[in-house]
Amino acid sequence: MAFPAGFVWGAATSAFQVEGSTTADGRGQSIWDTFAAERGRIADGSTGDPAADHYSRWESDLDLIADLGLPAYRFSVAWPRIQPTGSGAVNQRGVDFYRRLVDGLLTRGIHPAITLYHWDLPQPLQDDGGWAVRATADRFADYAAIMFDALRDVDATWLTINEPKTTAYVGYRWGAHAPGISDVDQAAAAVHHQLLAHGRAVSAFRASGAAGGIGIALNLLPVYPVDLEADPAAVRADAVENRLFLDPILLGRYPTDAIGTLAGQLPADPGAFEDLVQDGDLEVISAPLDLVAVQYYGVTGVDDAGNQVELYPTSLAPWQQVHPEGLYDLLMDLLIDYPDAPPLVITENGIPDPTADGTADDTERLEFLRAHLQQAARAIGDGVRLTGYYAWSLLDNFEWAEGLSQRWGLVHVDFETQERTPKDSARWYSTVVAANAVPRS
């Protein structure tokens, strides 16, 4: 199944998950440093240091990407390296690291996709309220402007915020991610303030005149009702999981049914968002984008009481119900519900190794990727404007609350020696990329 000419193929990482060197060159502390240092937060007690030691090994990692023949690489910038306290003066050594990284990519002919925020908020901003307070959106826009200016000559794909849903629900409602808060009102505030931050950063991007394009990375979750009675609950779950983020960005309005209910991610009061939104916010949030980045891992079933139901077998990650056709359904739904949306790029898709130790035989990942790419090709054939795909992840890395106990890499990392070994999936993916086509079977 052939992909269109110019389709962008890559693999992705994020700063906190791979870099390590958390105190090097003036980097400030992030909320994930704080969180990982607390007993019981991370499954195996690991922290963000050394992770995959990418801060030291960036050059050989770029060689690895080139050896695999990947035309694009998605990484994130650690805000605390750029502004150690989250505001004010620039830490030039931090900027220099990403300048070297980007130049290293360009030298190798690799397209950079740069995420500005992949969850590592500077701790001092959290001390002032984090995403629960509006001022953090202003801080983010300032930081974004610094990066646009530093890399203004680079034809990059910029992504403002990675998965605002995960930060709001897992970070502020369930407390399983940093900052470890369980407060339904703060979760709602974190949704709005991240979307506002996104919109402000887009404005800063346009004002900067930087080359390239900009979008946001949303993790979307197709919701299937388990039976007819479950239809209304599934519609509400879709509001909480998907439309709460897509509608303000692409339609300039919040859905009215993304409320409490269900698993209780959000306040039960339908007016919760009205109190947060100020005049002009939705115009800022819905500023035109060059792309929408979709991160797809699987689906969920919902019963009539709004409970999540397992419809498909999960991977080693209990939240991941694997269903490749769900990607097709999702892309087609986006085409129908948001006909004026900009082109889509899949910026994450992947699966952990079935066991924690990790071997070179990752047939399951290879088959996962193949099945999902087949569905992506099918959606393109049916009219979806999908212009790129990034596998998650290039490297085994620090998998948030799971620490080093879930391996998501196409490339194995020995966390004792830091040796990199491409898995079967990496070799297979290289052939797909070279052919610009995925085998039918």
> Residues annotated in the binding site for substrate, as ranges?
17, 118, 162, 297, 392, 399-400
For residues 383 and 325, what is the distance between their CA atoms, to the nearest angstrom? 16
**Region of residue 69 (phi > 0: left; psi between -120 and 50: alpha; otherwise: beta):** left
- The pairing of beta strand 344-348 with beta strand 386-392: parallel
Asked whether position 174 contacts ligand GBH by CB under 6 A, the answer is yes
Q: Single out the residue of 399, 409, 426, 438 in contact with ligand GBH (rule: CB under 6 A).
A: 399
Q: Examine residue 170 and tell whether it contacts ligand GBH (CB under 6 A).
A: yes
Q: Among residues 163, 283, 325, 367, which one is catalytic?
A: 163
Q: Which two tokens stand for residue 316?
A: 């080693």
Q: Which of 19, 241, 348, 402 is catalytic?
A: 348
For the bound state, the minimum distance from the C-beta of residue 392 to ligand GBH, rounded and expressed in Å, comes to 5
Q: Could you give the maximum distance between any two Cα atoms of the chain, in Å?
A: 58
Tell me the number of residues near ligand GBH by CB under 6 A.
16
For ligand GBH, which residue of 33, 53, 247, 348 counts as binding (CB under 6 A)? 348
| Closer Cβ to ligand GBH, 176 or 287, answer by number | 176
**Among residues 392, 415, 428, 429, the one that binds ligand GBH under rule CB under 6 A:** 392
Is 337 exposed, middle or buried, given 0-12, 13-18 or 19+ CB atoms closer than 10 A?
middle
Instruction: Give whichever of 123 and 349 is closer to ligand GBH, judged by the CB atom.
Output: 349
Residue 318 CB, shortest distance to ligand GBH, in Å, is 7
Q: Which is nearer to ligand GBH, 170 or 246 (CB)?
A: 170
Among 22, 29, 162, 375, binds ligand GBH (CB under 6 A): 162
Distances from the Cα of 423 to the Cα of 60, 68, 256, 408, 416, angstroms:
17, 11, 46, 11, 18
Asked if residue 166 binds ligand GBH (CB under 6 A), the reply is yes
Residue from 408, 415, 428, 429 binding ligand GBH (CB under 6 A): 408
Angstrom distance (rounded) from CA 309 to CA 214: 35
Q: Quick one: 17 or 321, whose CB is closer to ligand GBH?
A: 17
Nearer to ligand GBH, 253 or 319 (CB): 319
Q: Does position 396 bind ligand GBH by CB under 6 A?
A: no
Q: Return the active site residues.
A: 163, 348
Footprint on this chain of ligand GBH (rule: CB under 6 A): 14, 17, 162-163, 166, 170, 174, 176, 219, 297, 319, 348, 392, 399, 401, 408
